[in-house]
Amino acid sequence: MAEHRYAGLSFEQTVRQYADSVYTACVVRLQNSPDVDDCVQNTFVKLYQKSPAFHDENHLKAWLLRVAINECKKSVRDRRRFLPLETLKERSLVSDSTRAEDTSDISWALMRLEPKYREVLFLYYIEGYKVDEIADILRKKSNTVKSLLKRGREKLKMIYGGDGT
């Protein structure tokens, strides 16, 4: 049986190359290790099962991130049905005790934002996508992404304690 190829990469190469990006996208959305691991695994299982054709590696990465985000949304929906709020707080990766005073690392502040803001800030600043590309990945309008970026930056500044000076 022929090995599946994804934009010229084998399945193993694809996992090695994109696992960190998919994992980070899931952490940004979920903040919960067991759920993150499940969503990452489900993303790559879907890639293997569906074996879609990709134009290039950018198309592959965008597809993986889109599937990962969808898996995270599904996980949140499922979790709401079964887990009490106290359990979610206990299992969170980010807590008040982990809030570092290291001013060079604002990840603790980013993780305190609502998921919709974390997603766009992550895709824009960490993954380096442009607004139109983020709109395609999240299936939102470009102006919506711009608004989310603007509001997310403002909220991040408030949480981080920046005063604009």
pLDDT digit string, tens, across residues 101-126? 444 456 777 778 888 898 899 888 88
| Mean pLDDT over each residue of the chain, to the nearest integer | 81
pLDDT tens per residue across span 42-92 = 999 999 999 899 999 999 999 999 999 999 988 887 765 544 444 434 444
Domain with CATH 1.10.10.10 in the chain: 96-165
- What is 96-165's CATH topology? Arc Repressor Mutant, subunit A (1.10.10)
CA atoms within 13 A on the CB side of 79: 21
Residue 94 is encoded by which pair of tokens? Answer: 């980010």
- What is 1-93's CATH topology? Rna Polymerase Sigma Factor; Chain: A (1.10.1740)
Residue with token string 């709109």: 135
Rounded to two decimals, the pTM is: 0.65
Domain with CATH 1.10.1740.10 in the chain: 1-93
- Contacts of residue 78, defined as CB under 8 A and 6 or more positions apart, other chains included, come to none
What letter represents residue 154's amino acid?
E
Please choose, from the candidates 113, 117, 127, the residue with its C-alpha nearest in 3D space to the C-alpha of residue 148.
117
Please choose, from the candidates 132, 108, 90, 87, the residue with its C-alpha nearest in 3D space to the C-alpha of residue 28.
108
